[in-house]
Every structure is written in C-alpha cells, then in structure tokens.
Structure 1
C-alpha cells in the first residue's frame, strides 16, 4: 500500500455536513455543497503538484526548470480563462456552483491561493534552481553579477539589437497611458530632469516588442570555459533604460506585466461567417479587461496604485515579483543547453507499422497505439498511404490542435491534390490555437479540401479519422479514434491512446458522425460509440448505476476511470451513490476534481489519485466491471460539464479482449501501482505524495513503460 506524505492544499475546508431543520430534508442529500470541492481551486492545486517536480532532486536539473516554467505558463492560462470567467460571474452576480462558493468569494480565494503559488515558484527559482544551475555550469546572470567585459558587450547588444525597436512613451496630458498587450514585458521608468522640449520628466513606459529575444546567450569568450551564461531581456532593459532618455536621470525602472481575459466570445447565432468573426475577435484579444498585475517587488507604492487604477484591478490582484515577471520564458534555456546528463534520457518509441501496407495490417486486426511509447508515425503513415493509394476514395478527419508545419495537414493536402474526396472538420475555437487553426483551414481550402467548422454552439473535440477504401467489389472503412489531438509534438510529451480499426460497426458509426457534423443530419443512432452531447453523459450514468445495482445485490461492483478533470455534478452524485452501494471505485484524475473521496457514509469506497511525471497524463479511459464481463472504453472527453453536455465528443469501446487487457495493464493498473509520481486526494481536499511503503518496491508508471521499450 502506498504511503502518502507531502501534501498540497486546495484551500478548501474539510466537509462539514450541515444538518437541516426537521421537515426540510432535501430531495437529494448528495447535493450538499460540503460534498464538493471547488473546481477552480482544485485546478490551482494541480500546479503545486507540477511545481513539486521542479523541487524533486530525483528529476534531472533542466527538467526541473521545465516543470517550474510549465507551472508558470499554467498559471498564466488559469488567470486568462478561469479567473477571468469567475470575475465576470462575480460582476453579473451569478449563483454559486455545486460547491456553494459564490463567485465573489471564490475570486478572493483564487487571488490568495495564487499568491501562495507565486511565492513558491519564485522561492524555487531564486533559492533552488538558479543556484543549482550555476553549480552545473548553466548561469542565468542578474545584472549585479555582470563583470565589466560582460556589461560592455551587453550594452553594445542593447544599442544594436534592442534600442532600434523600442518606443518609450513619456506619460503626460498629451501622452495618456498606452494600451498594454496581454502578458507583454514592460518597464515603468521614474525620470527626473527636462527633455529637449523643456518638459519635466515624471514617468515613462517602455514596451518590449515580442520580436525581441527574451533571453540572450553570452558568447564563449565572456563566460567560463565549461559554462553557458544567459541574460534575460528584462535585466538588460532595467540596466540600460537610461540610454532611451538622454539628458534625464533615471531614478528607478520596474518591470511589470498584465494578464488579460483571453476567453473569446463569439455569438455564433448572430454571425454569418464564423472564421471572419473569430479573426475580428482575435485582433482585440490582447487588450481585453485585465485580471492580474505582476510587478517588480521594489516598485514604489504610488506607481503600483497608478497601474492598478489604470487596469481597473483590486489591490489583491497585484503580485510583487522577486525575479523576472515572465519567468516562463526561461524555458528557452532547456532547449539552448545541450547537456544530456541534465535532461531525461532519450528514448525511441515503438513503430507499430515497420513496413508494408497499413491497410493489410489493420485488416488482420485492430491496432492499439499508446503514445508516446508507440510512435505517432503510425497515424501519419496511415494517412500518407491513404493519400497516394489509388483505391482510397475519401478521407474525413477532425482537427482540434495540429501544431505548426503539421505533417498531418501536408498529407491531407496531398490527398486532395491526388483526387481524393477530403473533408476536414476544423475546430476554430480551440483555445489559444484559434489563429493557427484559421491558417490551417485556409491552407486546406486552397488545396480543394472541403472544410467544415463544426456545429454552432458546440466545440468539436472528438478525434476521428475515417478512410474509405475500395477493396474488390466492396468499400471498407478504416478508422482511427484517439484520446489526444492529431499533433506530433504533444504525441511525444502526452500519454494518449489511439485505436486503428476496420470494424464495420465502428466504421459506420464514424461515417454517421461525419455526416452529422458536415450536414444537417437528424439524430443518429450509433451501434458502438457513445457521443456527446447526446448519449455519452447518459451512457456513463447508466453504467455507473449498473455497477451500483450489482453491488447492492451482493455482486462485485467495480469502476476504474482515468481522465484529466472531473466536475459534472450528476456524474459525481452517481459515483457517490455507487460508493454507498458498495462499488469499489478508483479514479485517476490528473487535474481538477470536485469529488471528495473517503467521506464516511458517502464516498468511503472511492479513491482519487493524480499522476504527475515526465509526460502529461492525457488519456481518458473508462473501465466497468459489469459482473465479470468488463467493458473498456477510451474517449476524447473528460467528466466535465463542458465535455459531456456542450461539446462534440466520442467514446469508443475496445472490442479486442487482448487490447482491452493491455490498456488495463499498461494504463489503469500501472497508474494505480505508482508510488513515486502519484498523489492521493483526501476528504479534506488535500493531496499527499505517495512513497513506497516499508518493503514495497518503488514503481513509476511512466518509467515502467519506458523500461519495456
């Protein structure tokens, strides 16, 4: 049995079930807000688990730096989307979620909990990682550490490479406060003296264009023999900002960064062209209402108050930073330093299609891909062969995120140019990838691909590829279904599952789904797949209820499920009811989880764990015992309200018993046995790191799969 040790807190209290007055018994006591954790605070807590990787001396040093930067990037996105949404809900006076916390109260808790995370991040940077990197010959030099030769070189670099693209702006009645782009690096400068026009100096703003490198490597002659040395752009701006104001005295220069609401809002019922409307929204995304201000810790209070007033932010929305305000940019060091001993060991994933026809291989039996341990090249090879195969008549695919210079898009373009009928459902509203997806859509359309933007009001998050091939006198459908995106980059860093099959019923289901997405098809009846927003939610509830009925009748009830997040109230209540009936439930939930496990009389039989390791755990797997006839499903959907009720998602069965057993072994049981990278959630909302019990062998789920390659 794994023993949990270190804990991270969500900031929520342990459940206190409030007794109700006699005669006012609720219709469903499982709706008691005390039984639910807050989703936003739970999501924030996930970043403490990511940060714990940065503090783990067993993790290679440059990977620890990467984990620190990931936690910073995650926090940026949390403020841009989740905090912005809560702030908007507070302004509108919307009711609380299932946990009972009102939006205004939640906003206060978010700012306070985020402050703890920021403090922990910069403690990690200043006290742990930067000194450790320096000891290993990787130095990120603050300006106080520059020697005279380095300072001269950096000043010349500033004059030649940085100054020409800077446009400092003095603040006076004719120069009001400038528009500050979301997450851009800025410096507010205190000035003294008169400029050439006789105007007295006061304050100025220097904005760093995004074209400038945020980190600069010093040449070999300016560093130690076995060292690499780097300087942040923010340090150079602070050191040489006086160059921008000749004849005036710089009394202080303080970096700052503002984070803005980045949630795009397009009323699809009111627009004739979604792509055009999104382009318009994207143009203004960088200047939407502010939600957070980060500023140098030594900035004078009058300047801070002025910035808060300008950005219309409360006092608790400011974060005083002892270090670079854009700490996530330090991740570039991970790529710039080629020191294998400071990184995870390289590995070569399996290639499931060594040679020959992919279609012949799949016709012999279903193929399961477990990324990144199985190469994503198998999916690409399937599409490449389809693009040139004269017997392939049609290709249909969904694209949510594809990455820059996608080989998947190249293959689809080639297929269209080779005369195949190619239809692609491009989800333009994939958050933070909207602009990239607009470019993908344009490129596909130029090649003659029929591009569809999905269904009004529902993001198409399903991962599907359908290939129609003539074989003799019949047509055969080949299908790839996945839990992750068609993105070669994330396939190397995320754990995901993919199924390639020629099963006729699955092929027909996918055919019907594409008809539904590309046309105005009526409701469809699927034989094998479950689909959001129509059958997946109810399908989950009915299967959970079936396990509860089995347990209530004295038979074993068992559920094991893995996902990224869980918050759908009906599903949580169904799991509580199943636990009360005696069903043994193990949930592997990487991120936010609103369910409280281990509450006496409610969730005694539910255990929740989170795995945080080298790869981002991204696969979604649902397993139901079904009285000895287990059902194994993989899906594109988490158990979130948005996925189950407001998106187009698919959930597909693993019909081959050998493949189902492989998923159970490699994914579910493997994760449940992890005692190195697992965190267990307690009923009070705290996560505790698991360590091997006395006499128990250490086990990392991800490393076990790497060792098996």
Structure 2
C-alpha cells in the first residue's frame, strides 16, 4: 500500500487592492486615443479613432457616471462611493477630455490641413465662401431652426441627451416690450454636422464647415430687433441605462418601449459648453440641469467629436484609410457543396473578421433552402437594423419551417432594433421568446434540426460574438460549427430552458451561467494552483473584454501566489493589478488595441496532465456570471485547439506593436517593439489568412 502523501501546503494568501473599474475603463479609452496619435496609422483612420473615443466617452457618461454625480447633490447619501474615489475619477475623465482635444488641435487638424483638408471657421472664410455658407444657411438650415425665448410662458425646453444646442443672451426688448434676455436654440439632429463646400471654392483643397459654425455665424438673423450680447454652444449627457422592474412589468415589451421614450431625458450627468462661455450663461446652465461644477466640461473646439465620422464619409479618399482587407471564406467550409455534409465529418472553427461572416450566413441559408430542415432556433442579442440574417429567418418562416427566436430586448442601446425584429418575426408566425425575467440572454446559439435517414440530426453554431454581419467585419470573434450529438443536445436543452424555464438535465459539454460557469472556472483555477504546489505544470491564459468579477480575481491571485503562470489578455476594464512584487508578480495583464475590436473570449487551463480550452460568450464580470444566460464550451478537436492557441493566444502574447502591459503601479505601458517593423497580432493574422 502506498504511503500517505501529505497534501501540498498553500502559501499564505496576500490580499490585493483592486483597481477601480471605471478608472480602468477610462484608461482603455486613453489607449484607443493613442491610435489617433500614431504616425503609422492612415490619416482618416486616426480621425476615426478620435471619433470612437468621443462615442466611448458618451456611453461611459450615459451608463457609468450617474452615481458619481448624485454624490455631489446635497441630499445624496455619501456612503455609496468614497469622495476621494469620486474626485479621482472626475479628474481622470477631465484629463482624458483635455487630451482628446489636444490631439484634435495639435495633431489631427494640422495633419488634415497638410493633406489639403480644411475645416474653415467663419473668421477665415473668404467673401465667396461666406456667400455660399449664407445661401446654404438660408436654404437648408434656417427653416429648421426655432429659438425659444425664456419667460414664465416659455420655460427652458426639454433638451435631449447628447443633442447640440445654443444658449443666447439678448439685449433690448421683445415684440411685446418685455425683457427676456435668454433664449435657447436646438440644433435639429437631422442636419449634417459637417458640410463640404463646392470644389469651385476650394480648388484642389477639400473645404468643409461645421453646422455649428454655420449657425453661429448667422445667429443674429434669428433674433430680429434684438442684439445678441453673448452665446455659447452646450450639450448635456443624461443617464441612459434603462431601469425596468421586470418582476412588476406585465408585458416586458410594452414596459421597455415606455422606457425608451424617456431614455433621452433622464438625469443629467455631464455638461459640455464652449470654453468661452460667460459665467452668467454657465451658472444658468448648471442650475437648469442641477449639476455640480465637477460635471462641467469646458470644450476648446467643436462639441462632440463623434461628428468626425461624417468627415471620413465626406472626404472618401482610400489613400488615407487602412488598405482594404477582404476576409477569406472560412477555409474549413471550402470545397464542400453542403455544410451539413462537412459537419458530419467534423467540427469547423470560424475566425472573424479574418474569415468572413459569410460562412455563418451560408450555414443558415442552406438550412432555409433545405426541405429536410424542419426547425431553426436562434438567440439574438445585437443584430443591427439591416440584417441579412434576420431576413433569412423571415424566409424560413415563409417556407413553413418552425422558427424560434430568443430575442434579448434589453441589449443596451440595441433595444429598438431588437424590438423591431421581434415584432417583424412574430407577425409572420415565428415563435419569439424574450428570454428570462431578471436575466439577459447573452449566449450566442443557432440550432438546426434536420430529418435524415437515421432520424433527426441537429447542427449548431456557437459564437463568442453577435449575429451581426456589420460588426463581424470589425470585431475579432470565434464561431464554432458542429453536429456532435453531445453538444447539440445541450444546445437544444438550453433553448428549452429559455422558452419554458423548466429544469434541464445535466449538460454534456456546455457550461451555463448563471448556474455553473463561475463555479466551473473557480474549480479549474484551483486545480492549476494544486498542480503548481505539487510541482506539476500549471498555466492559465484568459482572453476577455473585461475582468471585474471579484471571486474569479481572488482565485487568480491565490493561484499566482501558489506558483501558477497567468497571462490575462483583457481588452478593456481590468480590476486585477499585475506585477506587484510578492502579490501578483506571476500575473501578466495585457491589452491589445488594434485595427479591429478585440472581442473573443477564450479560457485555457493547464493543471499537470489535465488541460481544457474553452470558448465563451461571457466576460469575467459578475453580471456575466450571475445575471446573464451565458455559454462556455470546450474545444476537443486537437487541430482546432492548436489553431486557437496559436492564432488567438500566442500571437497576442508575442505582440510587439499594438500591446500594452499593465504595470504594478496601475499604469498601462506600450510594449516596446523588438524591431522597427514589428508586426501586431492582427496584422499577422491578416497576412496569414491572405496567404491561404
């Protein structure tokens, strides 16, 4: 009989202080802004990154800032967030906005002008240019404008979140002999934010004017008989995260529609104003929106740089864009007349955007046209307003197939599009399910049931990303096609759970949140720690968009202190500090910001002789583990496992062009290129797939 071997002793756990989640998120936006400053990035792509940061900040304030602003109100409970944390986050947000506009003025505008693209303010326009702008204003703009003079009968109008507005101070009396000195002018959202001047006025140069400068130049014309003393542009951002009591809502769809009607008029959280706004107008705006001084963002330049997306479309010069990349058709599907036949021979991995989303559409298209396909089931989280995939589902219904669609109508900022598609499908006979009360359905599944000679056979597609052809061209994601009975039976059972909420049998392969995913991951992290303590090989590599779940982070810290080598590829917010001596020195956190948005989720665990590699729809956040329906599934095929390790993990760990490493002091530092022509992971993948 073998002697009893004492279990390896765990080292004393040294606790760590987590990084603030929102501060980490702002750091990610700063890394994106860095791309607007890179000389090796084409000019209009740099403009695009600047606009992306502006949009990211809008969403940050709409979703994350409300609690911080409430703390500044006298009646607020001050124990929700420490005042120091509130002040630090506010300071970081202000610094980022200042840096954003410094990049605009000091880097982007000079580079545009050097390329012959000029955004001309009123004071620099020639007489001929002013005449053209005046004619444009009279013809296209003025008929849409209606200033509101403020008085007891005309209170401050409702101002929608992120809308552009002017506040104007007037001298003199109105038509009724009264002194109402303040007026508000809303800029209609259907006006373009930038307008190109005719070639006859610019020669070889591309000349453009912002709509705000057009209106600003002609403000006095809107106030006949009054004198414009001073004015400023302003823009308010409001809390826009819908809050619906699902347990109390008799009809979730109706409740959501009502919430959407009021989304743009929620609590004010940020006020952007022209930097030259007078104290009189400024204080009036702060009072109107009940905001503290910390929520004020004086802007030196045009408000809302999101409009620069329009500049890219207006210029339309390919030489200032990234070279066009044409994704290849998925190589695992090439040479096969039938995808069903191919899947009976083995699983197929799809790597987007290097391989096109056409493989997914081809799978669904074959299912729609095949008379032996009886049932199609799919989850929808974000699919967009114009979706070829949704049109295929409509065709499936019209061809007499049973179509079940689980639509997550609470997908933030995609609620309207998802409601539209749900109602469209429901109106023609599809079975539409709205998920589970209290949870978001974030799992990405497509299941096809087909009558074959040996009975019904199922085929499934699982994905780390959304069923959205547009974002599939710009997000890195992995799709998995299979006809394995153990996997497809699990998918069938998950659909049954979502439609009737009955208990499901033990799953064969899929790991499902909120039931077992967090526990499963904790068990594997513990296995690696045990392996390291006993002197066996131990390694963890995780690729996610965000890492904020405290239980998982604590387990990773313990595993690292037990001797496990841990690499975390975290695109955005990461609350786990890395490289702290004696605490997290065996944990490396890396963020990749590139041409495409990193979006795939991959979990790799090695514990001695045991090893598992999982793909998943879930980030390592508490909401994904406990408040969403999420899937993870193992990849068992050795060739596919090796391909994922190489393309999705090792290439990124070797990246010396687009990678940032998290330091012990909380800073992200760009990885130094090992050579002047160092290639990033995404560039390497594009080159690899071009060659196939």
TM-score, normalised with respect to structure 2: 0.95
Name the SS for the 1:499 alignment partner: strand
Deviation at 1:447, TM superposition (A): 1.8
Partners of 1:83 and 1:107 within 8 A in 2: no
* SS state at 1:679 partner: strand
Q: How does 1:55-134 map to 2 (within 5 A)?
A: 55-87=37-69, 93=77, 102-134=81-113
The aligned counterpart of 1:186 is 165
Between 285-294 and 618-627, report the one with greater CA deviation.
Answer: 618-627
> How many Å separate the matches in 2 of 1:128 and 1:51?
12
Match of 1:99? none
Q: CA deviation at 1:86?
A: 4.3
| Residue in 2 that maps onto 1:698 | 678
Q: Is contact 1:69-1:328 (8 Å) kept?
A: yes
Distance 1:31 1:105, change over 3 A: farther
The partner residue of 1:396 within 361, 374, 377 is 377
Q: Could you tell me how far 1:108 is from its partner in structure 2?
A: 2.2
Please show how residues 164-183 of structure 1 align to structure 2 within 5 Å. 164-183=143-162
CA shift in 2, pair 1:88/1:429, >3 Å: farther
Instruction: Show the counterpart of 1:375.
Output: 356
Q: Distance in 2 between matches of 1:88 and 1:407?
A: 43
Q: 1:150: Cα distance to partner?
A: 1.3
Paired residue for 1:47, among 10, 20, 29? 29
**Counterpart position of 1:255:** 233
SS at match of 1:393: strand
> Could you tell me which of 495, 508, 511 is aligned with 2:492?
511
Could you say which residue in structure 1 is the equivalent of 2:470? 489
Contact 1:217–1:228 under 8 Å retained in 2: yes
Partner of 1:614: 595
CA distance in 2, matches of 1:674, 1:532: 32
Aligned mates of 1:30, 1:425 — CA distance in 2: 43
Quickly say closer, same or farther: Cα 1:29–1:302, change in 2 above 3 A.
farther
* CA distances 1:398-455 after superposition (whole Å, capped 9, x unpaired): 0000012101100001001101110000000000111111111111111211100000
Equivalents in 2 of 1:636, 1:85: separation in Å? Answer: 28
Stretch moving more, 279-288 or 145-154: 145-154
Q: Which moved more, 1:538-547 or 1:108-117?
A: 108-117
Contact 2:536 2:607 in 1 (8 A): no
Within 2, Cα distance between the matches of 1:345 and 1:92? 52
Deviation, 1:197, is 2.2
Aligned-residue Cα RMSD (Å) equals 1.6
Q: Partner of 1:489: helix, strand, or coil?
A: helix
Per-residue CA shift, 1:130-165, capped at 9, x if unaligned?
A: 111111122222222211111111111111111111
The 2-side partners of 1:472 and 1:54 are apart by 58
2:196 aligns with one of 201, 217, 228? 217
Shift of 1:601: 2.1
Task: Give the superposition deviation at 1:88.
Answer: 5.3
Distance 1:179 1:483 in 2: 40
- 1:93–1:363 distance in 2 versus 1, CA, 3 Å: farther
Q: Distance in 2 between matches of 1:337 and 1:205?
A: 32
Q: State how 1:279-294 maps to structure 2 within 5 Å.
A: 279-294=257-272
SS in 2 for 1:269: coil
**Counterpart of 2:462 in 1: which secondary structure?**
strand
Q: Is the 8 A contact 1:42 1:591 kept in 2?
A: yes
What SS does the corresponding residue of 1:108 show, helix, strand or coil? Answer: helix
SS at match of 2:265: coil
Alignment of 1:279-428 (within 5 A): 279-352=257-330, 353-354=333-334, 356-428=337-409
Structure 1 distance, partners of 2:70, 2:513, is 27
Comparing 84-93 with 194-203, which one deviates more in the overlay?
84-93
1:258-285 residue CA offsets vs partner (Å, 9 max, x unmatched): 0000010100010110010001011111
What is the CA distance between 1:335 and its match in structure 2?
2.1
Report if the CA contact (8 A) 2:444-2:463 is conserved: yes
The answer (yes or no) to whether the contact 1:79–1:259 under 8 Å persists in 2 is: yes
Aligned partner of 2:3 in structure 1 is: none
After TM superposition, give the deviation of residue 195 of structure 1 in Å: 2.6
Pick the aligned partner of 1:207 from 186, 203, 215.
186
After superposition, the C-alpha distances for 1:638-667 in whole angstroms (9 at most, x for unaligned) are: 000111111000011111110110010001
Point out where structure 2 has 5 or more consecutive residues left out of the alignment: 1-10
CA distance in 2, matches of 1:662, 1:78: 35
1:577 maps onto 2:558 in alignment: yes
Does residue 684 of structure 2 align to residue 707 of structure 1? no
- 1:30, CA displacement in angstroms? 6.0
Paired with 1:247 and 1:231, the residues of 2 have a C-alpha distance of: 28
Match of residue 24 from structure 1: none
Per the TM alignment, residue 375 of structure 1 is displaced from its structure 2 partner at its CA by: 0.4
Shift in alpha-carbon separation, 1:593–1:329, aligned structure 2, 3 A: same
More displaced stretch, 666-675 vs 514-523? 514-523
CA distance in 2 between counterparts of 1:85 and 1:445 reads 38
Partners of 2:473 and 2:13 in 1: CA distance: 41
Matched residues in 1 for 2:483 and 2:67: separation?
A: 43
TM-score, reference length from structure 1: 0.93
Q: How does 1:128-143 map to 2 (within 5 A)?
A: 128-143=107-122
- Structure 2 SS opposite 1:665: helix
Q: Residues 86 and 106 of structure 1 are in contact (CA less than 8 Å); yes or no, is this contact kept in structure 2? A: no
Alignment of 1:237-248 (within 5 A): 237-248=215-226
CA drift at 1:199: 2.5
**Equivalents in 1 of 2:142, 2:259: separation in Å?**
31
Matches of 1:356 and 1:626, distance apart in 2: 41
